[in-house]
């Protein structure tokens, strides 16, 4: 019975340890997921910013080239063509900048959505973990109550067994009270063999097996067991 109680306690401690280990692992996974989502969002923003900067530099360079060429141009038509080309390049660059900004917004929106999804998943996992911990705590409480009940029953059973054993032992060892019969027979001149004691008096066994003691009157009192 003691082994059973010990096994119950070991099971309870193992469940408690498992519940704590699972909660710690999920907390670590949550932190890792959030960090990855944040790093991806920052990388996307940096990439978009670099594209925008390159586009601006191209526009500035195109304008500078156009200005230099206009100053050194000898013909209006040539200058107009170059201006048109520069404007076309500027428009193209502007389109690229606009597209880069749009891509940045799209990527940022997607990353925000991923982060929101990750947070939602983390909350769901946390709720599940909390529910598991609650179930583990209930199982621990139930096991503890069951162990207490088993222990109490074992104690009661043991006490009952001891009581039964004690009663049986007492019943076996207890002898029925001996009956005595007083007679007018006088004690023999030659005493019979002493074979015991009864209430502080010597018990004699006669030739025919009868047991007796000598009372205060000097007569025989037979003992009938």
Q: Do 130 and 47 share a domain, yes or no?
A: yes
Q: Do 59 and 82 share a domain, yes or no?
A: yes
Q: Do 29 and 70 share a domain, yes or no?
A: yes
How many structural domains are present in the chain?
A: 2
CA angle at 5 for the pair 4 and 6, rounded to the nearest 5°? 90
**Spatial separation of the C-alpha atoms in residues 119 and 16, rounded to whole Å:** 27
Task: Give 57-66 pLDDT, tens digit per residue.
Answer: 998 998 888 7
Position 176 scores a pLDDT of 56
Q: Which residue has the higher pLDDT, 84 or 165?
A: 84
- In SS3 terms, 46-81 reads as HHHHHHHHHHHHHHHHHHHHHHHHHHHCCCHHHHHH
In which band, very low, low, confident or very high, does the pLDDT at 172 lie, cut at 50, 70 and 90?
very low
Q: Residue 173 pLDDT > 60, yes or no?
A: no
Q: Residue 204 pLDDT > 90, yes or no?
A: yes
Count of other CB atoms within 10 angstroms of residue 56: 13
Q: Do 111 and 198 share a domain, yes or no?
A: no
Q: The pTM is what?
A: 0.25
Q: Do 145 and 42 share a domain, yes or no?
A: yes
Q: Do 60 and 38 share a domain, yes or no?
A: yes
Q: Do 87 and 35 share a domain, yes or no?
A: yes
Distance of CA 42 to the CA centre of its chain: 39
Q: Do 125 and 218 share a domain, yes or no?
A: no
Question: Containing domain of residue 82, as a range?
Answer: 2-172
Q: Do 199 and 94 share a domain, yes or no?
A: no
Position 203 scores a pLDDT of 95
């Amino acid at each position: 019975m003691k082994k059973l109680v010990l096994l119950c306690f070991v099971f309870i401690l193992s469940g408690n340890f498992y519940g704590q280990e699972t909660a710690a692992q999920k907390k670590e996974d949550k932190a890792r997921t959030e960090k990855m989502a944040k790093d991806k969002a920052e990388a996307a923003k940096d990439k978009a910013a670099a594209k925008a900067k390159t586009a601006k530099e191209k526009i500035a360079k195109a304008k500078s080239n156009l200005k230099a060429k206009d100053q050194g141009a000898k013909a209006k038509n040539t200058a107009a063509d170059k201006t048109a080309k520069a404007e076309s390049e500027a428009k193209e660059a502007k389109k690229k900048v606009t597209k880069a900004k749009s891509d940045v917004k799209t990527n940022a929106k997607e990353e925000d959505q991923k982060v929101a999804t990750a947070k939602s998943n983390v909350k769901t996992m946390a709720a599940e973990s909390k529910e598991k911990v609650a179930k583990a705590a209930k199982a621990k409480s139930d096991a503890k109550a069951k162990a207490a009940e088993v222990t109490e029953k074992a104690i009661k059973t043991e006490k009952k067994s001891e009581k039964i054993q004690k009663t049986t032992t007492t019943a076996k060892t207890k002898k029925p009270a001996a009956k005595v019969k007083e007679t007018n027979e006088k004690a023999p001149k030659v005493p019979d063999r002493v074979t015991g004691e009864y209430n502080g008096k010597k018990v004699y066994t006669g030739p025919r097996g009868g047991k007796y003691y000598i009372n205060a009157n000097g007569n025989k009192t037979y003992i009938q067991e």
